[in-house]
Amino acid sequence: MDGGNHSEVPEFVLLELTSSWEIQILLFLFFTTFYVASMLGNLLIVLTIISDRHLHSPMYFLLANLSFIDTGVSSIATPKMIYDLFRKHRAISLKGCITQMFFIHTVGGTEMVLLTVMAYDRYVVICKPLHYLTSMSLRTCTSLLAVAWTIGLFHSVVQLAFVVNLPFCGNNKMDSFCCDFPRFIKLASADTYRLEFLVAANSGFISTGTFFILIVSYVFILVTVS
């Protein structure tokens, strides 16, 4: 339709983890075991918290949401990676690749913010116990969750907006078992120096930002209890 001067690469070829048959079996068992264990463990936490009325408090609701998000995090790239172990042609379409990147960053960004929300919850209960019931109601908890999802979505969409129209032709060998921005950008046939910087700065900002807030909240808690 657009008849432009760049033809799109219809699919990307993902990295082969190993060509040895024995190691493939070993990796298959290893990844499957951990994937199933993580899904079952997280679902058990969510079901326990939802079904037990004693656990209907902000802290446990946040924990249930964290476990729920964790099932999502594990399910974005792992099942395909396990499936790909035994395939000769490990391909992923451009749309599939963009979908993977979208979900990895939305869910990953949300999880990081959720961790700081959980830290805030513990900070209030330990350092400002008299304010806890008023400042950490179920409604506040739900609003904070909404904020976490909004930041995660924003973090992901901002990066996607810059890479979604990149031209691809020729090189389609992804140096990884799943799609992520840095490697995706490297394959584009355009000058991507600024874009790489932008993506690294974006992910770096959200990771170091949440890490810093977590550390500060722990310092406050340690100072209070000691």
Pick the closer one to ligand NAG by CB: 145 or 221. 145
> Does 142 interact with ligand NAG (rule: CB under 6 A)?
yes
Nearest approach, Cβ of 105 to ligand NAG (angstroms)? Answer: 20
Annotate the chain with three-state secondary structure.
CCCCCCCCCCEEECCCCCCCHHHHHHHHHHHHHHHHHHHHHHHHHHHHHHHCHHHCCHHHHHHHHHHHHHHHHHHHHHHHHHHHCCCCCCEEEHHHHHHHHHHHHHHHHHHHHHHHHHHHHHHHHHHCHHHHHHHCCHHHHHHHHHHHHHHHHHHHHHHHHHHCCCCCCCCCECCCCCCCHHHHHHCCCCCCHHHHHHHHHHHHHHHHHHHHHHHHHHHHHHHHHC
Q: Give burial (CB, 10 Å; 0-12/13-18/19+) of 62.
A: buried
Nearest CB to ligand NAG, comparing residues 145 and 160 = 145
Q: How far is the CB of 143 from ligand NAG (least distance, A)?
A: 9
For ligand NAG, how many residues bind (rule: CB under 6 A)? 10
Site string for ligand NAG, 122-141 (x = CB under 6 A): ----------------x--x
Please select the residue that binds ligand NAG; options are 145, 153, 198, 221, rule is CB under 6 A.
145
Residue 47 or 216 with smaller CB distance to ligand NAG = 47
Residue at shortest CB range from ligand NAG: 64
- Give min distance, CB of 88 to ligand NAG, in A: 39
Minimum CB distance to ligand NAG smaller for 28 or for 149:
149
Query: Nearest distance from residue 207's CB to ligand NAG, in Å?
Result: 23
Which of 90, 225, 103 lies closest to 159 in space, CA to CA? 103
Contact between 149 and ligand NAG (CB under 6 A)? no
Q: How far is the CB of 57 from ligand NAG (least distance, A)?
A: 10
* Residue window 41-70: x/- pattern of binding to ligand NAG, with contact defined by CB under 6 A: -----x---x----------x--xx--x--
Name the nearest CA neighbour of 184 among 84, 104, 66, 78.
Answer: 104
Nearer to ligand NAG, 47 or 215 (CB): 47
Which positions lie near ligand NAG, rule CB under 6 A? 46, 50, 61, 64-65, 68, 138, 141-142, 145
